[in-house]
Amino acid sequence: MPKPEASPIFPAVVENSAAPGPVLIVCEHASRAFPAPWGDLGLSAAETAAHIAWDPGALGLARGLAERLGAGLVHAPVSRLIYDCNRPPDAPGAMAERSEHYQIPGNSGLTPAQRLQRVEAVYLPFHAGLAAEIARRMVLGPPPVIVTVHSFTPVWFGQKRAVEFGIIHDADPRLAEAVLREAAGCGLEVQMNAPYAAADGVTHLLRRQALPLGLMNVMLEVRNDLIATAEAEAAMADRLAPALARAVAQVAAPIAA
């Protein structure tokens, strides 16, 4: 009898692996790809391009920061609506049935077997690839500093958001506090733990990949209307990279000493 076809695997995308800098940038919501076997999940073309499917501008900004900081970059290859790599497998938001006011038909009523297929196809390969890159850097150089890059919409459930640059931490606030200090003069409305905080369940990746190893870490959120074009992404990278470099130097110095 012919063997059943294996489920597709979508591993983490690793860029700049040989970059010498101490920072490893991660972009969990980089992609709006909807590959087979899931397809568009019953969404329109406009919906698959909306912020519910990915973080607009985040990958371009992450690449710009990686270039300026001499950093490595790891990012997810499929839409977060297929699987949100910043959520654990048991979280409803890992394969959300609803996002803001959008219904996600293809995520409605998933069976445990269907959820497990996505875990094995997307979540596990992504985190395995990231863990491998972290381990490689720990062997070859100083412990990497984990910086995750996200974007957020300027209006959420009809409410405008004044914050432009959010800095989020979990149990270890040291790098976040350093970034907050160094970003004070960057010309943005900067807030700590906004528009989200660890209590909202947004720091799963930091909890899984950074905290158990004692790695310095921070989650960055930039309002997506400020990085809506390639030129804006580059300008934001120019603005934030110096502040990040100074912040990392502050917290990494005791490790390197």
Scored b (16 or more CB within 10 A) or e, 170-180 reads bebbebbbbbb
Does a structural domain hold residue 153? yes
Does a structural domain hold residue 133? yes
Does a structural domain hold residue 26? yes
Q: Which pair of tokens denotes residue 21?
A: 């800098």
Spatial separation of the C-alpha atoms in residues 167 and 183, rounded to whole Å: 10
Strand pairing report for 72-75 and 98-99 = unpaired
Q: Into how many domains does the chain fold?
A: 1
Does a structural domain hold residue 2? no
pLDDT at 256: 40
**Chain centroid, CA 214 distance in Å:** 19
Does a structural domain hold residue 45? yes
pLDDT at 253: 58
Digit-coded pLDDT (tens) for 50-86: 999 999 999 999 999 999 999 999 999 999 999 999 9
**Spans in the chain with pLDDT lower than 50:** 1-4, 255-257
pLDDT at 154: 95
Of 250, 249, 21, 244, whose CA–CA distance to 141 is shortest?
21
- pTM, two decimals, is 0.95
CATH of the domain at 38: 3.40.630.40
pLDDT at 6: 64
pLDDT at 255: 43
Spatial separation of the C-alpha atoms in residues 94 and 99, rounded to whole Å: 11
Range of the domain at 181: 13-256
